[in-house]
Amino acid sequence: AQTVTQSQPEMSVQEAETVTLSCTYDTSESDYYLFWYKQPPSRQMILVIRQEAYKQQNATENRFSVNFQKAAKSFSLKISDSQLGDAAMYFCAYRSAETSGSRLTFGEGTQLTVNP
Amino acid sequence: EAQVTQNPRYLITVTGKKLTVTCSQNMNHEYMSWYRQDPGLGLRQIYYSMNVEVTDKGDVPEGYKVSRKEKRNFPLILESPSPNQTSLYFCASTPVVGYEQYFGPGTRLTVT
């Protein structure tokens, strides 16, 4: 079974600075997808970024980028030029591309605080 | 507007009183799932459905039931709720393997 681990329960960053959230996962599969979701106080789950395992290029979405290290099974999220609106709980998630179904396996979450 | 809806958004109930949380999506997605979110544990899948009349257990199915009689609806049933089912519940849908899941707004359930 796949597992996802986020070792940082809480992180903080100054506004306009850069922060990196860590995520590691364990799987025996070679084809899969990785996601970062943001959960603001409204509780809505918002997709931040997605990475396909077969792609070597790291995904980027505006101020958000990932460092995907497949051999190390690491998938960190970098937020550049942090804004107050980035404050939220962030979840890393894994999804198999080899098995049927639609299960996402989530990490424990990292609570990000942005200080003005 | 493409969306996943859940009702109710908040529910306080007592142990043993059967309840149903509804979930509906208007995107014609095949896959639908239920998750529960607990502090320090992230989200864990309860049940999922690959299509009408096709459902399967996720990681934490005990104490829950689901049904998929129509493609758009996937209700979660707690026939005898217990306090350890107090949690935040999310319904989600996705069209094909590999696409991100579209989440509903969440249902905060408290069982006393």
CB pairs under 8 A between A and B: 64
Put simply, whether A25 touches B (Cβ < 8 Å) is no
Q: For residue B110, what are the β-bridge partners?
A: B12
Res B98 pLDDT > 60: no
Contacts of B50 in chain A (CB under 8 A): 100-102
- Contact by Cβ (8 Å): B9, B106: yes
Which one, of B74, B80, B88, B72, lies nearest residue B38 by Cα? B88
Distances (CA, A) of A92 to A3, A28, B8: 11, 18, 27
Q: Do A9 and B101 touch (CB under 8 A)?
A: no
Partner residue facing A102 (CB), from B88, B94, B103: B94
Identify the closest residue of chain B to A33 by CA–CA distance. Answer: B98
Q: Cα B105 to chain center, whole Å? A: 11
Tell me the percentage of chain B whose pLDDT exceeds 70: 97
Average pLDDT over residues B18-35: 95
Contacts of A100 (CB under 8 A, 6+ apart): B50, B97
Q: pLDDT at position A97, please?
A: 81
Residues within 8 A of B (CB atoms), A 82-111 only: 91, 93, 95, 97, 100-109
- From A112's Cα to the closest Cα of chain B, the distance in A is 14
- Contact by Cβ (8 Å): B46, B34: yes
Identify the closest residue of chain A to B56 by CA–CA distance. Answer: A101
Q: pLDDT at position A79, please?
A: 98
Q: What is the Cα–Cα distance from B52 to B109, expressed in whole angstroms?
A: 26
Q: What is the Cα–Cα distance from A58 to A73, expressed in whole angstroms?
A: 14
Q: Do A101 and B50 touch (CB under 8 A)?
A: yes
Q: pLDDT at position A100, please?
A: 61
pLDDT along chain A (116 residues), means of 10: 93 98 95 94 94 92 96 97 98 84 86 97
Put simply, whether A4 touches B (Cβ < 8 Å) is yes
Q: pLDDT at position B6, please?
A: 97
Identify the closest residue of chain A to B49 by CA–CA distance. Answer: A101
Identify the closest residue of chain B to A49 by CA–CA distance. Answer: B100
Q: What is the Cα–Cα distance from A87 to A116, expressed in whole angstroms?
A: 11
Contacts of B59 in chain A (CB under 8 A): 103
- From B55's Cα to the closest Cα of chain A, the distance in A is 9
